[in-house]
Structure 1
Amino acid sequence: MKRPSWNDTLMFITVAEHRSFRRAADLLGMKPSTLSHAIKGLEAQLQVRLFQRTTRSVSLTDAGQHLYQRLVPLVRDMDDALESVTAMGQTPGGTLCINGSDAAIRLLMHHVIPDFTRQYPGIALDLTLDNALSDVVKQGFDAGIRLYEDIPQDMVAVRLSGAIRFLTLASPAYLAEAAPLTVPQDLLQHRCIRQRLPGGKRYAWEFARDDAAFSLDVPGALTLNSSQLMVEAACAGMGIVYVPDMYAREALAQGRLVSVLDAWHVASRGLYLYFPHNRHLSHSMTLFIDAVRRAAAFFPPE
């Protein structure tokens, strides 16, 4: 036997509650003849008569009364379930899972998370530090944070930071003993502290000036997978590093590092929060996006 549809069930309950095909049809937004035909189809499927019909009244048969009494609690439970899910979407709560590079998570911790958690204590944040270009959709994250240039084009991107410059840096002690640096190609004669990407490949240093743009696979005896460790190694005089400016601001301000090859620096548009354009956003996620936008207002885009 073919199972009756949920719509057939709702039509039956509506007629049973109002004891009128016309009244039930008005509530359901359909013609009485269409509703009557649907109920006859339901009776045919169940092979039992559900209503006694006369020209003046509609009443339930014993079978109809039995079915009605069994269905009403189920419908109420479903209504409660739907209302509770709707409330979850409207009430700040639940857990937001965010995937981001170490630079992104650091920025969140300084400029977004403290105020957000104080304002919305019912929202839990699950932050995953991941320097790989992970697929946030397949891995079940609500959103990711990456450099704008690394974000897939089919994602919605919300600016978090201002532009980020990539700097070539070394300690004053290293530069005092090393050969002069005037063009990027001079790096081939220096000790460089290289970075290994999550996939295992070494990061090529990128440079641009006027219409010239190129990358260099620089030499070096030390390779690390952390920009922060690279900065610390450079401060110790172990060589030249190439890192986003956010990692080196303190060391530059304190004079422990010096920027070189400034005319050749390249820049990114900055860090952006991103998520699928076709994903329904919970109320909590919308609040988090608003918090990111507020934080971005303190950073000039360029």
Structure 2
Amino acid sequence: MNLADLDAFAAVARHRSFRRAAAKRGVAPSSMSKSVRDLEARLGVRLLNRTTRSVAPTAAGQRLLDRLSPALLEIAAAVDQVADEPGEPAGTVRINAPEPAVELILAPLVAEFLATYPKVRLEIVAEAAFVDIVKAGFDAGVRWDESLAQDMIAISLGAPQRYALVAAPEVIAQYGAPSAPRDLLTKPCVRIRFPSGVMPAWDFERDGVTTKIEPEARLVTTSLSLLLRAALDGVGFCSAFEGQVREHIAAGRLVSVMEDWLPPFPAPFLYYPSRDVPSALRAFIDFMKQRAS
């Protein structure tokens, strides 16, 4: 059985696209398609359902992917270990993380990490949906504690964070500043929708009392950059991580309101499935631990 064909199938099945899988590997989509066809011909079973718009594993393909992904990770780890020079980590580290964690925690440290470990290659996928990192072929993930699997090893990535509720000065002048969550039900708001279709409620807490509201939104988007731009342009009130809007608040472009309703919460965690990790991942873990401290 050709290992390259198995790897190609796993990549296409994970990405649900020949084009995206090919782009990740720097090859032509036709090459990936041929590898999968050859594998299906040898096995005598269809592994992927293909349409002009989508690709998805068949039942047999999903069973193969579930068993294959951990094995491919082990092979990659073995190759990375052999490729290591003494005392110098080498190899690829694939990380899955939500966009705010990428922007606020990972992005500021990427250049320093790569300069410190020149033989390590990072692949960071920003994804809002929670994924099984083992099945999807990632070495580690970043999530907040409510999304962590119990069987994962997890390390905190720093100091507590908090949300901020902000609006442009002209919005405050026209509609007034809310003093309690229910006040937002009569004010213009902009909200985020996850790719899964879920539009998260806004959570508030004060004096031990938790309140969730779902205000009407003048704008709903899956784009964090559009969400922030709309808030800056005066479309409405916006809930965002404090780190994403701190500079705008300091410059007077946005006004922070209801700060006493938004207590801090723990930072996200870097998590991974095994204590026996390749040297490149170990270097990344130790680097993040040191920066978090």
The TM-score, its normalising length taken from structure 1, stands at 0.66
Match of 2:220 among 219, 223, 232: 223
Shift of 1:154: 2.1
Match of 2:290 among 283, 291, 294: 294
Deviations 1:183-209 (A, max 9, x none): 110000011101101210111000111
Shift of 1:145: 1.0
Q: Which secondary structure does the structure 2 equivalent of 1:231 belong to?
A: helix
Q: Which secondary structure does the structure 2 equivalent of 1:233 belong to?
A: helix
Runs of 4+ more than 3 Å apart: 83-91
Shift of 1:227: 2.9
Check 1:99–1:292 CA distance in 2 against 1; reply closer, same or farther (3 A cut). same
Are residues 1:213 and 2:210 paired? yes
Check 1:180–1:249 CA distance in 2 against 1; reply closer, same or farther (3 A cut). closer
Letter in 1 for 2:280: S
Are residues 1:168 and 2:165 paired? yes
Aligned counterpart, 1:76 = none
Are residues 1:271 and 2:268 paired? yes
- Is the contact made by 1:149 and 1:268 (CA closer than 8 Å) also made in structure 2? no
- Is the contact made by 2:192 and 2:220 (CA closer than 8 Å) also made in structure 1? yes
Identical columns (%): 33
Q: Distance in 2 between matches of 1:281 and 1:243?
A: 34
Q: Distance in 1 between matches of 2:190 and 2:79?
A: 55
Shift of 1:176: 0.3
- Is the contact made by 1:171 and 1:257 (CA closer than 8 Å) also made in structure 2? yes
Q: Which secondary structure does the structure 2 equivalent of 1:243 belong to?
A: strand
The TM-score, its normalising length taken from structure 2, stands at 0.68
Aligned counterpart, 1:59 = none
- Is the contact made by 1:228 and 1:247 (CA closer than 8 Å) also made in structure 2? no
Aligned counterpart, 1:261 = 258
Q: CA RMSD in A?
A: 1.9
Q: Distance in 2 between matches of 1:248 and 1:171?
A: 11
Q: Distance in 2 between matches of 1:191 and 1:84?
A: 54
Check 1:85–1:198 CA distance in 2 against 1; reply closer, same or farther (3 A cut). closer
Letter in 1 for 2:291: A
Aligned length: 213
Aligned counterpart, 1:183 = 180
Match of 2:276 among 273, 277, 280: 280
Structure 1 runs not aligned, ≥5 long: 1-82, 298-302
Match of 1:101 among 74, 98, 101: 98
Structure 2 runs not aligned, ≥5 long: 1-77
Aligned counterpart, 1:87 = 82
Shift of 1:180: 4.4
- Is the contact made by 2:80 and 2:90 (CA closer than 8 Å) also made in structure 1? no
Are residues 1:119 and 2:122 paired? no
Letter in 2 for 1:296: A
